[in-house]
Amino acid sequence: MQVDSQQAPAGELAVGLTEQNPNFLWPAGAREVPGEFARWRDELAKLKPAYYRLVLDWPSLEPEDGKPVFDGFNGGCLRDKPPCAAYGGLRDQLQALAARQREGGWETLVVMSGTPEWAARPAGGCERDNTTPRSRPARDMATYTRFVERVLAEAREQGAELKYWSPWNEPNHPYFISPQRMECDRDAPSAAVAPYVEMARALQAGLNAAPGDQQLVLGELAGLDRSRPMTTSVSEFVADIPADMACGSAIWTQHGYVGGRDPVDDLERALARKGCKSPQIWITETGVGAPRSGEERRTSRASQVRACGRLHQRLRKWYRDPRVSAAFQYTFREDDLFPTGLITTDLSGDFPALGEWIAWAGDRRPTDPPPKNACL
């Protein structure tokens, strides 16, 4: 029998999203938000993401030991860029998330990031100039565990379910764990894996002690294919994790931006070398634009459409790849220092990629055939 070459192969790809400002998340009518935010809130609602990624900035949420601030004022700007829509910190984020979860979807992946100065280890090893305490791991992992337990208690109070937890964001990058090596030599052993393993074990203890059904996932790795004096490649990082831990996670999360190298093979091969059966891989940061911090996005419509077309092809590739089951857009509103968003920083318009993500999400099921290119 001849197979129709135009028929899409069987596959699966669910859609996830990172966006910190809850004024984009609230369902219509649940909370009054400024007009320009309400317009884009309604566009975001069309995504109906299966997953939501919530990044917890530990230093801002617990600036003093044992004194968490979950209702702190946030001006709701993009750093210093207007327009702004203020909100009440993590508490408002959780309330908006709970409202969306009641509609279905929005299963949440929580990612820890940043160490408060009071908790951080001292400087040492091969560090970049101007490294601050937030980049260094905690001295005492009991402080980390207590913070996790407090966040879970706050989420229960606000009615939000935080099911999936990742120990740390981009642990193979020096901004998030420093030092990566004790000596500034790419052949020196990675110094980042040991504290990451400590965090993973501390996180698992906190999740086990808390009520509810929470699951540890590993990864959130920056898509680095080569080790350097101040970075650790995906392959090297995974190789140094104890096999029982690496193979015990049913989900590994990985960052991989369109235009760069697809990191899925590196991650899968590294896990296979440890004897792990293939876990689910979630691409929890992806997007198009200028994914390297400080680069300027090309602003012509033609270049945006071409970039969106590359996104379409990458999503189709991940759909067909049985190892990959989800892809998360980073972010909804454009961060002008990391420009991969779907709408402009000033909220004056959108990028073609917004339509592409809506085509992949919305009422479409993850196992439905891939949508047509929606970039044009």
pLDDT of residue 3: 36
List residues bridging with 64 in a β-sheet. Answer: 67
Give pLDDT tens digits for 82-104: 999 999 999 999 999 999 999 99
Residues 42-62, mean pLDDT to the nearest whole number:
98
pLDDT of residue 278: 85
pLDDT of residue 96: 98
pLDDT of residue 336: 87
Q: 139, 195 in Cβ contact below 8 A?
A: no
pLDDT of residue 290: 73
Q: Which two tokens stand for residue 245?
A: 């831990």
Rounded Cα distance, 8 and 6, in Å: 6
pLDDT of residue 47: 97
Rounded Cα distance, 301 and 349, in Å: 12
C-alpha angle 10-163-31 in degrees, rounded to nearest 5: 100
Rounded Cα distance, 231 and 350, in Å: 34
> Does the pLDDT value for residue 76 go beyond 90?
yes
Q: 107, 51 in Cβ contact below 8 A?
A: yes
Rounded Cα distance, 284 and 166, in Å: 11
pLDDT bin (cut points 50, 70, 90) of residue 292 is low
| CA distances (Å), origin 374, targets 50, 152, 237, 311, 361 | 20, 39, 37, 10, 12
Q: Which two tokens stand for residue 114?
A: 């940043």
List residues bridging with 181 in a β-sheet. Answer: 126, 190
pLDDT of residue 300: 86
Rounded Cα distance, 306 and 72, in Å: 41
Domains along the sequence of the chain with CATH: 14-360 (3.20.20.80)
pLDDT bin (cut points 50, 70, 90) of residue 293 is low
> Does the pLDDT value for residue 298 go beyond 70?
no
* Mean pLDDT over each residue of the chain, to the nearest integer: 95
Compute the half-sphere exposure of residue 254: CA atoms within 13 Å on the CB side of its CA: 32
Number of Cβ within a 10 Å radius of residue 306? 14
Compute the half-sphere exposure of residue 354: CA atoms within 13 Å on the CB side of its CA: 17
Compute the half-sphere exposure of residue 90: CA atoms within 13 Å on the CB side of its CA: 23
pLDDT bin (cut points 50, 70, 90) of residue 8 is very low
Strand ranges for 301-369 from DSSP E: 324-330
> Does the pLDDT value for residue 235 go beyond 50?
yes
pLDDT bin (cut points 50, 70, 90) of residue 4 is very low
Residues 218-227, mean pLDDT to the nearest whole number:
97
pLDDT bin (cut points 50, 70, 90) of residue 376 is confident
Give pLDDT tens digits for 123-165: 999 999 999 999 999 999 999 999 999 999 999 999 999 999 9
pLDDT of residue 253: 98
Q: Which two tokens stand for residue 20?
A: 């910190």
Give pLDDT tens digits for 151-210: 999 999 999 999 999 999 999 999 999 999 999 999 999 999 999 999 999 999 999 999
pTM above 0.85, yes or no: yes
pLDDT of residue 291: 67
Give pLDDT tens digits for 102-113: 999 999 999 999
Q: β-strands 218-221, 215-216: how paired?
A: unpaired
Handedness of CA 132, 287, 262, 297 (dihedral sign): negative
